[in-house]
Every structure is written in structure tokens, then in C-alpha cells.
Amino acid sequence: MNAGEFIAALRALRVWSGLSYRELAAKAQASGASLPPSTITSMLGRTTLPRAALVTTFVHACGLDQDTAAQWAAVRNSIAIGSEQPTSGRPPELPESSSGGGTEQTPADLPVKRRSRLRPVATGLGITLVLAISVAAFLLPGRDSSRHGGVVVAPELPSTPTGAAAVPPNGWVHIRPVGAPHLCLTDGRVRDRRYVPLVAVQRRCDAVAPQGTVLESMGGDLYQIQWHHPDYGKGCLKALSDGPGIGLLEPMDDCSQGSRFHLEPFATYGSNRYVLRVDGQGCVGIRDSDASEGAEAVLERCVGKGGQVFLIEAAS
């Protein structure tokens, strides 16, 4: 595990906790520590290791006990000094639910409704959270910590069997139109202002932070597309089927209203290129296959080419 993978694991833990940045700050303050939302934003958006004390505070605020928080800090320290040993064993298990509880207040920008509870990204026996990095498996909170030389380490990700079909990464991702790979699908306004709420548009990938995109498997080839923002929380994309915004993709507060997208491989397996189809509504495409920044995503008749093909890769 390297620094980037460790930061991705921290982001995964935050999603698992079901807590907004403000809720994490409040929990840390209640335990006598300081963890401002701006500090969390900086920590989870960086590529270098945060301070060990900050890791401990953050992990504990996410709902894990002090011993587990110390294990995360130990991994951080081993990465920092370059002494992490080859990984072995399996990661700790996630508890059945986090200690967050309640209903999270999540995204909204201006009039947009984007508030709902963050669900655990992954739970169950012996789970490895894999997100943002296709070659890494992350250290998870739980009971059965594996150790090597007194330092907690993360297991290696099992390799894909020869001939097995590749699947989209389940977790933090970038969704990029193949016709404009420097752009990412994220929130914005329709250019003609005919519809006020935020909708899905393509913008420069380096200007999307601190918002991130999560791809959550709903079984089979069905996925939900979620946007997470440190201030606004989570919004799940819905393909609008009526009203003034018909055909657009809008993030919704209640993720039960979010659409389920079929991610259908384009060309060959392993190319990371997909067509996103919604039952009865068509396929997601960039309007007119426009390669300029700000062009909105719309539902169109499926043709499987041009602006309807997206490159989906784990976010680093």
C-alpha cells in the first residue's frame, strides 16, 4: 500500500461511516479533538500522507474504537518510513453498521434537493473495499486485524482469473466521455438555463474536486451513480422522464429515487469503456457529442457510439 492507496482507504472509510464532514467534526469535538471540515477536505483530497494524529482522530470520529484507529495510524507510519512488509492475511471485517446512525443531511446547491443517508459502501464477512485504485486492497475497520512484524498491513487484491470478464470499479471513479477524456461527468447548469437545478454536465477533471463520484453496484450490470461533496453530502443521479428537465440527469436527495444504470461494455472487456443505459429511457450521452466543457448529459436513443461511450476508471 502506498500513500495514494491509503488516502483512498480513508475516503472509503468516510463513505462507510455514513457521516458528513460536519458530523465528523462534531464527533471529534465531542471527544475532545479538533477536526474541522476544511481539514477533512484537505486530507481526503491530497496525495500525501496526513499526520498520524489526524488519522487517529479521523478514524475514531468515523465510529471505530481507539485500538482500530491506532492500527490505521500504524499503517500510515509504516508507509511514511517505507518499512511496510509484504501484505498477508485478510483485512479486518466491517461491523454490520456504523455508529453514525440517523439520517445524513447531504448535497444541495442552490435549489437542488440532495440530502439523504450515506449507506455503507460495503459490509459483510471478509470484505475488501476496492475503490479508486485497481491494484490495491484496503485496510478495513473491524475485528480480525492481520499483522506482520507488529504492523497492521493490507492484503493484496486477488488477481482476475484468466479469461474472466472485467467489471467496472465499485467505488470512487472518474466517468469521462471518450470523445473528451480530459472532461469528467459532474454537476453543473444547463447552458440555456431552461432548467434551474444542478444536472450532469462534463467539466474539466482537475476542476471537479472536492466533489467525488461513487459507482455503487446494485447487482448484475446495474449501478447507481452517486456524487459526494464535503459540504452538500450525497446525491444520486436520476434520469428525468418528465417535466421541464426531461432527459437530463439530476442528483436526488433520496437515493431510492435514483436511477439504476446498466453499464454495458463497449468493444472488448477490459477496455474500461461502457455505455450507460436506463430501462425504458435510452442511453446516457453528451448532447450532440459535444466535446466542449459544460455540455450536458442527456438520455438519447441508444446508438452505442459517439457521446454515448464513457471511460470509467478508479479515481486515484
pLDDT-flagged residues of the chain (< 70)? 83-167, 268-270, 316
Same domain flag for 125 and 187:
no
In a domain, 119, yes or no: yes
Same domain flag for 146 and 269:
no
Same domain flag for 147 and 178:
no
| Per-residue pLDDT at 55 | 94
Same domain flag for 127 and 183:
no
In a domain, 300, yes or no: yes
Domain coverage including residue 192 = 171-314
Same domain flag for 11 and 136:
yes
Same domain flag for 132 and 190:
no
In a domain, 163, yes or no: no
Counting Cβ atoms within 10 Å, is residue 162 exposed (0-12), middle (13-18) or buried (19+)? exposed
150: left (phi over 0), alpha (psi -120 to 50) or beta: left
Q: Which of 96, 122, 152 is the last residue of a domain?
A: 152
Same domain flag for 78 and 206:
no
In a domain, 106, yes or no: yes
In a domain, 122, yes or no: yes
| Per-residue pLDDT at 316 | 66
User: pTM, whole model, 2 decimals?
Assistant: 0.53
Same domain flag for 106 and 213:
no
In a domain, 258, yes or no: yes
- Reported as a single tens digit per residue, the pLDDT across 83-100 is 444 433 333 444 444 444
| Per-residue pLDDT at 315 | 83
**Nearest C-alpha neighbor of 107 from the set 258, 244, 249, 226:** 226
Same domain flag for 184 and 46:
no
- Reported as a single tens digit per residue, the pLDDT across 160-195 is 333 334 567 778 899 999 999 999 999 999 998 889
CATH number, residue 281: 2.80.10.50
Same domain flag for 248 and 291:
yes
| Per-residue pLDDT at 81 | 84
**Nearest C-alpha neighbor of 265 from the set 168, 173, 184:** 168
| Per-residue pLDDT at 153 | 36
| Per-residue pLDDT at 219 | 86
| Per-residue pLDDT at 133 | 32
In a domain, 280, yes or no: yes
Domains: count for the chain: 2
Q: Which of 152, 187, 215 is the last residue of a domain?
A: 152
